């Protein structure tokens, strides 16, 4: 037998436990990437079948049928129809679940028509007794012309048998289990005569699906055999009805359900969780709990990471030879890496909660619940997931919009998600609020500063929804819009699945956005610590002359030199160059530098101001920088720089502006075009500028 791995495509409807089967087969031998040219996640792994033979398992995106409606589903069809694809499977493993066998088998019958050796996996076998379901496997195998593995990925039952079936895939029948061409014999006979060497069902899919084929002349087929759109739709409907008739007949023979045993707790829970009042109350209650835990739990590891990197930075400075590269390491690279690593706890906790909600089956109820509200603003119920995820980071949030089938709704979701208050805005909000909002209590117990922070979160969400409404009105994309959501059974989340998901998402954040942030921090460090002018090169001399008649400590002298150097560095020049444009908003050049540098990532704003205001020790950073910022006065007017008007102007700017290059990069990647990130940048930053301008001019 060949030592080449057997190529296995894992296919199935969403929520049938396909990922659990993939995890059981591959363990941690997984790789996550993208399909070439598109942004759909590609998961593959290796499974050891016996001592000598391995299988390469490709976990394809969940799909209900081979009639594609989203890019995820297109991936499945394109792979199954293209024998030249390097991943074209030797065997297809169709995963179904015992409670929804009827619906799940539709996809199975379509794949069988492609004459690919196919194994049917019936998952969640452990629930059969509970639900009063009995299956006659030999009868089902005979009718469906395949081998069946009855498994429970949760209880690890039947996995070895599935491996045996994969190992012996050559023995599987490739005969279709029904004759779908009988829906219009004349049409299909003509098609068969015209293309005798091609598989009939493949030709049918070429005619009805808008997918890329590498080895078929799509135009040739379509020009001769295409029918009107409505005729094709009618034929597709007939095909589906025929398949369901076959499935019904098969299940009558091979499945028995004892209705008295099928307790309906699920329907009762559904009625509460999707109730038009209680449903929302429960959801917002869960959200509040999540954010409470998210910030409370994250703060401990985040503080630890922050301190560790600050110590590493000091150690590097103390022990490495004095020089520019040492400065780059201690002031650029280590804080740069720290700036990525510090967000790992929040990202990990967020995906932990999201995974638990998804795994338990609750997220589908939330999507159903929110669809009613979101649809009024041109969004889908599925948009709620990116909007919630956006509170941690817009990057994974935008990526999570991939499962929205309707392109217009997906595009709107991608464009408005960055308005949601992400964790990178928090340090900016926190320091500005502490500067301009007094530490007062409202109604005796509510902190005014806390309420301001909450108002900023609501402002971001409100702006996202409002922008969606505008985009929905003005975007001239007429797309079919329908909403189908699976209501899976409630389950206790599997630790392994949750763990692998958290690991994958965190890794994607660190290796994706992380590399960009790291590269930018090197460039920003260079621009901030180098300059061309004589003033920059003679900073020590100039500061010494300025302080001739004063007594200052060495620390104060160094602070002043650093501040002077920064003012005359490349980035200082950039700040001064943009000063005329930002002065109407109440900002000076130093704030301008922080705003420009925070284009890399919003949280850089605080770090840049810390450097500009010459703050040394990180352990007292916030207090010190707060005092310095509070004391900062305008050299010409003598007025405080961080007054109420400037503070509000800055808060509004950061609430609305597209201050994140990584988000723009991911929008470009997701939309496959520069057009949308540019529109997003211009609209968000333009809106931020105008609102900040109005706020400052009104309040000053």
Structure tokens at 618: 């990180």
H/E stretch holding 93 reads strand 91-97
Is the alpha carbon torsion for 76, 78, 82, 85 positive or negative? Answer: negative
Q: Which is nearer to another protein, 225 or 570 (CB)?
A: 570
Stretch that binds another protein, among 197-205, 238-246, 248-256, 318-326 (CB under 8 A): 318-326
User: Exactly one of 129, 441, 515, 541 binds another protein (CB under 8 A); which one?
Assistant: 515
CB of 44 to another protein, least distance (A): 17
Rule CB under 8 A: is residue 207 a binding residue for another protein? no
- Alpha carbons 92 and 57: distance in angstroms, whole number: 10
- The residue range among 383-391, 494-502, 648-656, 663-671 that interacts with another protein, by the rule CB under 8 A, is 663-671
Nearer to another protein, 88 or 644 (CB): 88
* DSSP H or E segment with residue 33: strand 30-34
For residues 557 to 586, the per-residue mask of contacts with another protein, x marking binding by CB under 8 A and - elsewhere, is ------------------------------
- d(C-alpha 619, C-alpha 464), whole Å: 36
Q: How far is the CB of 180 from another protein (least distance, A)?
A: 25
CA 172, 173, 176, 177 dihedral sign is negative
CB–CB of 605/654 below 8 Å?
A: yes
Contact with another protein (CB under 8 A) among 1, 33, 37, 636 = 37
Tell me the C-alpha to C-alpha distance, in Å, between residue 591 and each of 8, 93, 303, 586, 641.
56, 58, 26, 9, 9
The verdict on 549 binding another protein (CB under 8 A) reads no
Tokens of 437: 């909002």
Query: Least Å distance between CB 523 and another protein?
Result: 5
407 near another protein, rule: CB under 8 A:
yes
User: Using the rule CB under 8 A, which residue among 103, 131, 491, 668 binds another protein?
Assistant: 668
Residues in CB range of 312: below 8 A, 6 or more apart: 334, 338
What residue ranges in 98-136 does DSSP mark as E strands? 118-123, 133-135
Q: Considering the rule CB under 8 A, would residue 32 count as an interface residue with another protein? A: no
Contact between 511 and another protein (CB under 8 A)?
no
**Piece of 302-310, 513-521, 536-544, 638-646 that binds another protein (CB under 8 A):** 513-521
Which one-letter DSSP state was computed for residue 633? B
Binding mask 262-301 for another protein (x = CB under 8 A): ----------------------------------------
Reduced to 3 states (helix: H, G, I; strand: E, B; else coil), residue 96 is: strand
List 321, 444, 580, 638, residue binding another protein (CB under 8 A) = 321
Q: Which is nearer to another protein, 145 or 668 (CB)?
A: 668
Interface residue with another protein, options 443, 480, 545, 549 (CB under 8 A): 480
Work out whether 665 is an interface residue with another protein (CB under 8 A): yes
Query: How far is Cα 462 from Cα 333, in angstroms, rounded to an integer?
Result: 37
211 is an interface residue for another protein by CB under 8 A: yes
> Residue 51, interface with another protein (CB under 8 A)?
no
**Closest distance of CB 482 from another protein, Å:** 12
Binding residue (CB under 8 A) for another protein from 326, 360, 447, 624: 326
CB nearer to another protein: pick between 402 and 425: 402
Smallest CA-to-CA distance from 10 within 86, 62, 64 is with: 62
523 binds another protein (CB under 8 A): yes
Tell me how many degrees the CA angle 137-140-143 measures, rounded to the nearest 5: 150
Pattern of binders to another protein over 112-151, x per CB under 8 A?
Answer: ----------------------------------------
Question: Per rule CB under 8 A, is residue 534 in the interface with another protein?
Answer: no
Q: Enumerate residues 6+ apart whose C-beta is below 8 A from 503.
A: none
Nearer to another protein, 9 or 333 (CB): 333
| Contact call for residue 473 and another protein (CB under 8 A) | no
Does 683 interact with another protein (rule: CB under 8 A)?
no
Phi-psi region of 448 (alpha: psi -120 to 50; beta: other; left: phi over 0): alpha
Applying CB under 8 A, the span of 100-108, 239-247, 441-449, 664-672 interacting with another protein comes to 664-672
Does an H or E element contain 247, and which? Answer: helix 229-254
For the chain, how are helix, strand and coil distributed in percent, rounded to 5? 65, 10, 30
Nearest to 21 by CA among 54, 71, 57: 57
How far is residue 362's CA from residue 365's CA, in Å, rounded to a whole number? 5
Q: 406 vs 569, which CB is nearer to another protein?
A: 406
> What is the rounded radius of gyration, in angstroms, for the C-alpha atoms of the chain?
30
| Interface contacts to another protein, rule CB under 8 A | 36-38, 71, 74, 210-212, 321, 323-326, 328, 333, 406-408, 410-411, 477-480, 515-516, 518-520, 522-523, 526, 665, 668, 671-673, 675-676
């Amino acid at each position: 037998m060949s030592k080449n791995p057997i190529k296995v495509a894992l296919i199935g409807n969403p929520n049938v436990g396909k990922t659990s089967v993939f995890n059981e087969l591959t363990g941690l031998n997984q790789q996550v990437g993208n399909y070439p040219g598109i942004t759909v996640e590609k998961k593959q792994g290796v499974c050891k079948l016996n001592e000598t033979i391995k299988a390469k398992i490709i976990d394809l995106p969940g799909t209900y049928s081979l009639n594609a409606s989203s890019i995820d589903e297109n991936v499945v069809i394109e792979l199954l129809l293209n024998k030249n694809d390097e991943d074209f499977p030797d065997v297809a493993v169709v995963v179904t679940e015992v409670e929804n066998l009827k619906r799940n088998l539709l996809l199975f019958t379509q794949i069988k028509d492609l004459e690919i050796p196919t194994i049917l996996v019936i998952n969640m076998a452990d629930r059969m007794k509970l639900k009063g379901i009995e299956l006659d496997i030999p009868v089902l195998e005979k009718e469906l012309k395949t081998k069946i593995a009855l498994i429970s990925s949760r209880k690890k039952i039947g996995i070895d048998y599935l491996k045996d079936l994969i190992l012996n895939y050559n023995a599987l029948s490739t005969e279709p289990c029904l004759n779908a061409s009988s829906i219009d014999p004349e049409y299909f006979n003509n098609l068969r005569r015209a293309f005798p060497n091609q598989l009939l069902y493949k030709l049918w899919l070429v005619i009805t699906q808008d997918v890329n084929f590498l080895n078929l002349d799509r135009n040739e087929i379509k020009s001769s055999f295409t029918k009107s759109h409505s005729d094709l739709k009618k034929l597709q409907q007939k095909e589906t009805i025929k398949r369901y008739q076959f499935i019904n007949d098969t299940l009558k023979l091979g499945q028995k359900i004892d209705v008295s045993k099928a307790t309906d707790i699920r329907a009762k829970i559904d009625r509460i969780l999707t109730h038009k009042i209680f449903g929302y109350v429960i959801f917002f209650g869960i959200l509040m709990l999540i954010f409470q835990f998210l910030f409370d739990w994250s703060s401990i590891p985040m503080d630890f990471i922050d301190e560790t990197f600050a110590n590493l930075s000091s150690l590097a400075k103390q022990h490495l030879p004095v020089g520019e590269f040492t400065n780059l390491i201690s002031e650029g690279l280590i804080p740069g890496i720290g700036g990525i690593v510090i967000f790992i706890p929040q990202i990990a906790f967020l995906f932990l909660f999201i995974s638990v909600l998804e795994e338990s089956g609750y997220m589908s109820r939330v999507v159903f619940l929110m669809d009613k509200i979101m649809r009024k603003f041109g969004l889908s119920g599925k948009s709620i997931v990116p909007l919630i995820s956006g509170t941690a980071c817009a990057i994974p949030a935008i990526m999570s919009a991939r499962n929205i089938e309707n392109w217009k709704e997906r595009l709107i979701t991608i464009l408005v998600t960055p308005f949601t208050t992400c964790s990178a805005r928090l340090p900016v909000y926190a320091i500005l609020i502490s500067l301009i909002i007094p530490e007062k209590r409202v109604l005796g117990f509510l902190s005014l500063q806390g309420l301001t922070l909450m108002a900023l979160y609501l402002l971001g969400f409100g702006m996202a929804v409002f922008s969606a409404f505008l985009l929905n009105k003005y975007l001239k994309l007429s797309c079919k819009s329908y909403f189908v959501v699976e209501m899976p059974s409630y389950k206790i989340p599997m630790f392994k699945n949750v763990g692998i998901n958290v690991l994958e998402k965190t890794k994607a954040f660190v290796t994706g956005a992380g590399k960009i942030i790291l590269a930018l921090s090197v460039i920003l460090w260079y621009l901030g610590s180098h300059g061309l002018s004589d003033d920059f090169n003679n900073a020590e001399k100039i500061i010494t002359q300025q302080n001739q008649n004063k007594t200052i400590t060495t620390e104060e002298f160094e602070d002043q030199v650093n501040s002077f150097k920064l003012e005359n560095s490349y980035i200082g020049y950039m700040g001064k160059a943009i000063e005329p444009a930002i002065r109407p908003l109440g900002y000076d050049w130093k704030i301008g530098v922080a705003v420009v540098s925070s284009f890399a990532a919003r949280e850089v704003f605080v770090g840049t101001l810390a450097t500009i205001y010459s703050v040394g020790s990180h352990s007292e950073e916030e207090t010190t920088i707060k005092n310095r910022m509070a004391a900062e006065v305008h050299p010409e007017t003598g007025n405080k720089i961080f007054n109420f008007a400037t503070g509000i102007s800055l808060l509004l700017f950061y609430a609305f502006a597209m201050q994140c290059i990584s988000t723009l990069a991911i929008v470009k990647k997701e939309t496959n075009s520069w057009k949308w990130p540019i529109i997003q940048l211009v609209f968000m930053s333009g809106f931020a500028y105008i609102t900040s301008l109005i706020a400052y001019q009104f309040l000053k």
